Amino acid sequence: MKVVALGGAGAMGRAAVRDLAASPDVEELVIADYNLEEARRLASELGEKVRAAHVDAKDHAALVDVLRGSDVALGAIGPFYEYEARMIRACIEAGVHYVSICDDYDAAEAALSFDEQAAQAGVVAVTGVGWTPGVTNVLVRLAADQLEEVEEIAISWGCHASDTTGKAVILQYLHAVTGMIPTYVDGRMAYVPAGSGLERVQFPEPVGAIDVFHAGHPEPITIPRYINARTVTLKGGLVESYLVKLCNALVRLKLTDTAYKVELVGKFFNRLLPYLENVGRPPESCSACRVDVTGKIGGRWTHLVYGAAAHMDVLTGIPASVGVQLVGGGKVTTRGVTAPEACFEPREFLRRISEKGVRLYRGDEMVEPLMV
């Protein structure tokens, strides 16, 4: 298959690109990035079948041009509230399948609005195939398939701030913790204040037990479309509580309530974080997720708990690479825009990512390995 990695030279795209380059099923891989110098540097490390190209995601014609002739595109240009719809629209026009790591709720809503257009063009577009959403959605599907009736799905993520770099990640976090964000309660979509609903959740080590709160993410948008559940919630948090407090203060001061302000604050954090991360820096940084799915089997209430952990680039990039390979390999046959919980066989997906460094867990204490 021929693959184009949009934003493949970025912090989250790199792990996916490296894994795709190592796959014998990928015949040609183009790293299409705004930063051509970085794309060329990465391409030079990965062998003859990998090349670099410059692309500006705000230039629709340029996007379409770099996509033409490929089989699948990886969407890794963030923030996704600005670029997901642009990338999907270009893939539809170019007739190229699409897999993204989109993690913004409004971008996921926009992506789903292209469902009919994508189907008519014969394009498969899977939005949100990363850590969260992505691994979380597939773990939910694994649990839901074991239940006769699903009542509640509670999804959580937690990480060390030092586990990632990149401006887009900072912009996404600020976007997720600002304003009223969507959740799914009692069979309907509702909006709650970002940062509300504080609770302590146990993740795999070395993340451990941390406080999480309602944050804007795609899971409450997509999962109720494909899994019949009464409630779907998403909460997240950082191990470094002082950074959470700092972000909350910026939100209260209305310094993140417009795209322009978020851009300015994001630039500030991008310069400041390398210094802040050294305050109480852990021996090993990590990111993790957890899903708690409650329902009935044989009329009896059952609570299933699954989780995953790895460095954020691995936890995001490897699922994206596996998603690209599944779509490119013809494992997804339904055309249109969809989400991981609707189109990937959970055990195959989870087995593939576990073989490449994503640690999977089960049980409330998040210490028992999940065998798939």
What percent of the chain lies above the pLDDT cut of 70? 86
Tokens coding 34? 């705004």
C-alpha closest to that of 285 among 314, 327, 317? 314
Assigned domain for 330 exists? yes
Residues 330 and 278 in one domain: no
Task: Average the pLDDT over 124-136 and give the result.
Answer: 98
Whether residues 66 and 53 share a domain: the answer is yes
Residue 252 pLDDT > 90: no
CA distance 215 to 195: 6
163 is a domain residue: yes
pLDDT tens profile 80-121: 999 999 999 999 999 999 999 999 999 999 999 999 999 999
Q: Compute the mean pLDDT over every residue in the chain, rounded to the nearest whole number.
A: 91
Q: What is the pLDDT of residue 82?
A: 94
Domain check: are 161 and 121 in the same one? no
Among 2-16, 34-48, 274-288, the least confident range: 274-288
Q: Which range marks the domain in which residue 298 is found?
A: 135-310
The string over 296-310, giving b where at least 16 C-beta atoms fall within 10 Å of a residue's C-beta and e elsewhere, is eeeeeebebbbbbbb
Q: How far is CA 311 from the centre of its chain?
A: 14
**Which residue from 95, 54, 51 is spatially nearest to 72, judged by alpha carbons?**
95
Confidence band (pLDDT; 50, 70, 90) for 191? very high
Domain stops at, among 253, 280, 310: 310
pLDDT, greater one: 324 or 179 = 324
Q: Are residues 347 and 297 part of one domain?
A: no
* 300 and 176 part of one domain: yes
- Position 222 in a domain: yes
Kindly state whether residues 300 and 319 are assigned to the same domain: no
Question: Quick check: is 366 in a domain?
Answer: no
Tens digit of pLDDT for each residue in 38-87? 999 999 999 999 999 999 999 999 999 999 999 999 999 999 999 999 99
**pLDDT at position 175, please?**
75
Residue 364 counted as domain residue: no
203 pLDDT above the threshold of 90: yes
CA–CA dist 191, 185 (Å, integer): 9
The pLDDT assigned to 116 comes to 98
Smallest Cα–Cα separation from 231: which of 290, 302, 157, 154? 154
Q: What's 342's domain CATH number?
A: 3.40.50.720
CATH number at residue 183: 3.30.360.10
pLDDT of 341 over the 90 cut: yes
Give pLDDT, residue 231: 98
319 in a structural domain: yes
Tell me, yes or no, whether 273 and 170 share the same domain: yes
The DSSP line for 21-51 is HH-TT-SEEEEEES-HHHHHHHHHHS-TTEE
Q: Domain for residue 369, yes or no? A: no
What pLDDT, on a 0 to 100 scale, did the predictor assign at position 178? 81
Do both 190 and 149 map to the same domain?
A: yes
Burial class (CB in 10 A: 0-12, 13-18, 19+), 280: exposed
Nearest residue to 134 (alpha-carbon basis) of 367, 362, 326, 369: 326
Number of compact structural domains in the chain: 2
Look at residue 365 and tell me if it is in a domain.
no
In DSSP notation, 155-190 reads EEEEE-GGG---HHHHHHHHHHTSSEEEEEETTEEE
What's the pLDDT tens digit per position in 214-239? 999 999 999 999 999 999 999 999 98
189 and 320 both lie in a single domain: no
pLDDT higher than 70, residue 274: no
pTM for this prediction: 0.92
H-state helical runs in 68-126: 80-94, 105-112, 115-120
CA dihedral 17, 21, 27, 29 (to 10 degrees): 30
Cα–Cα dist 140/98, whole Å:
22
Q: Scan for tokens 């795999």, then name that residue.
A: 204
Question: Are both 289 and 351 inside the same structural domain?
Answer: no
Q: What is the pLDDT of residue 163?
A: 78
Same domain for 200 and 61, yes or no, is no
pLDDT for the residue 247: 63
Render pLDDT for 133-181 as a digit per residue (tens, 0 to 9).
999 999 999 999 999 999 999 999 999 987 776 555 666 677 777 889 9
Q: Which of 90, 63, 74 is nearest to 4 (CA)?
A: 74
The residue type found at 172 is Q
The residue from 254, 281, 310 where one domain ends is 310
Whole-number pLDDT of residue 161: 81
296 shares a domain with 162:
yes
Cβ pair 76, 102 in contact under 8 A: no
Cβ atoms within 10 Å of 75's Cβ, excluding its own? 33
Q: How many helices (H) and strands (E) does the chain have?
A: 14, 17
